Amino acid sequence: MESRSENSRKLGRLAGYGVGDFGLNIYWQTASFFLFFWYTEVAGIDPRAAGLIISIGLAWDAISDPIVASFSERVNTSMGTYRPFLLFGSLMIAISFVFLFWVPPFEGKTKLIFLGATCLLFRTTYTIVAIPYSAMASRISYDSKERADFSGARMFFGFSALVLICMCLWPSVRFFEDIIGSEPKAFQITAALGGIIATIALWICYANTRELPLPAKTIQSEKVWVGIWRNIQSNKALRRLLFLILLNTAAGSALNLTLMYFIKAHSDVYAQREILLTFFALSAALTIPFWTYIIRIWGRRRVWILTSVIYFVTGMLMYFGPDIAILGVPVHIMIFMALGASHAIIFWALVPDCVEYGQVDSGYRSEAGVYGSVLIAQKLTGSLMALIVGFVLASFGISEEAHVTVSHADEFKTFIALCPPLLMLLTTIPIMMLPMDRDAHSQIVGQLEQE
């Protein structure tokens, strides 16, 4: 039985790592939920152009993420391999985040070029910190159960950042808009405040994490693209995980990119958007400890299948049944967010396990190869979904001149009730095929230690 001091140290380690995702998710969640909406409703560009800008940014991520992963895993300093990126890269993201919400004083193609350039700048600086942070999960522990705990802590802090954003973003924008009389500038000031908070969180993570030495006689792959290709070829677990990522990312992007439009289209029947978004975020954040516990008891595969089926059933009830809202908050969306939290925990617990699976199969340890493969699949899928959503919005009649109104309520309800749940149901296929369980992973780690 663990002593109180051991429990305290464990909680300190979990919080020390998890707080980094609080900082990163101030950026990630803002971009995921608000950027597309900001492009069309504040910057005033066509949804197809907004989709193209975000798509190009995510496609660039698919190239830059593996490169940063490969470079970072070879860094060797007294501060560690991945931790220095948290210390020195944090300010760069904060500055680029402010420029991301800048409306340039131009029109037409020039305006789009500048918006695209600031998007690429933000994506690049974010990559320089976020990729080493994610890869650090494979160095702070080699125990599968403990990795699930770290993933749970990470998701708790990440969704806590979403709660903060949902509670404060729109009130902050309104507050500064009343003072300076400009909504775009109010967004920039709010982004600057978010950047300050995120930087502090990342520095706290740097100060409270430690990396373990690599397993004995580890041989690392020499080149990132070689590592990616080698892992895809030889790592059966990774190949099936990539299939899971494609479907899960598509489902998440379909919901995240259209949620703000769904809220605005239902503004006549739902509560204020900051109230809605706060409830959505809380439904995810507050269920993280529950999901972490259930995953430890039932296992990752069972929980994923169960929650995916519930997600699909909820979507069908939303589509065919009445609109259920409590205090002006749609219950179906709250359920989507709560179930999505379980998937996030499981996903980020599975990824580092793939590193050891690949190592025992090929003889090479390539954290960059595994994380690079995962990130390419994730970002390319997100890129494609951004393009699709842009054309979906255009098909609803939304343009530079025609913004979202209550007349679009049925279209957005149909899209959200059908697209994400159907994709989520399909994720049960690859999760059932994954050859990954705790006992097998423990044996692999033990084998690598003895070599």
CATH code: domain of residue 323: 1.20.1250.20
Which range (15-19, 77-81, 332-336) has the least confidence?
77-81
Higher pLDDT, 248 or 442: 248
303 lies in some domain: yes
137 contact partners, CB below 8 Å, separation of at least 6: 17, 147, 150, 151, 154, 348, 351, 352
pLDDT for residue 6 is more than 90: no
Higher pLDDT, 214 or 419: 419
Query: Which pLDDT value is given to residue 331?
Result: 95
- Does the pTM exceed 0.85? no
2 lies in some domain: no
pLDDT for residue 216 is more than 60: no
pLDDT for residue 217 is more than 70: no
Q: Which two tokens stand for residue 299?
A: 């296992």
Which range (37-46, 234-243, 389-398) has the least confidence?
234-243
Query: Which pLDDT value is given to residue 127?
Result: 93
Mean pLDDT value across residues 183-191: 95
pLDDT tens for 248-279 read 999 999 999 999 999 999 999 999 988 999 99
Contact present, 417 and 89 (Cβ < 8 Å) = no
Query: Which pLDDT value is given to residue 79?
Result: 87
CB atoms within 10 A of CB 450: 9
pLDDT tens for 44-67 read 999 999 999 999 999 999 888 888
Percent of the chain with pLDDT over 90: 59
* Residue range of the domain that includes 426: 14-450
Distances (CA, A) of 181 to 3, 100, 113, 239: 57, 20, 26, 52
To the nearest 10 degrees (0 to 180), the angle between helices 273-285 and 331-362 is 40
Query: Which pLDDT value is given to residue 60?
Result: 94
pLDDT for residue 4 is more than 70: no
pLDDT for residue 97 is more than 90: yes
Mean pLDDT value across residues 157-168: 92
pLDDT tens for 104-121 read 998 899 999 999 999 999
Query: Which pLDDT value is given to residue 121?
Result: 97
pLDDT for residue 235 is more than 70: yes
7 lies in some domain: no
Query: Which pLDDT value is given to residue 157?
Result: 93
pLDDT for residue 241 is more than 90: no
- Total domains in the fold of the chain: 1
Percent of the chain with pLDDT over 70: 89
pLDDT for residue 287 is more than 90: yes
Mean pLDDT value across residues 339-359: 83
44 lies in some domain: yes
Q: Find where tokens 């309104």 sit.
A: 174
pLDDT-derived band of residue 442, with 50, 70 and 90 as boundaries? low
6 lies in some domain: no
pLDDT tens for 9-42 read 878 888 999 999 999 999 999 999 999 999 999 9
pLDDT for residue 213 is more than 90: no
The mean of the pLDDT values for the chain is 88
From the list 438, 439, 435, the residue with the least C-alpha distance to 361 is: 435
From the list 443, 450, 442, 366, the residue with the least C-alpha distance to 148 is: 442
pLDDT-derived band of residue 358, with 50, 70 and 90 as boundaries? low
Mean pLDDT value across residues 354-359: 71
Q: Report the distance separating Cα 149 and Cα 27, nearest Å.
A: 23
pLDDT-derived band of residue 102, with 50, 70 and 90 as boundaries? very high
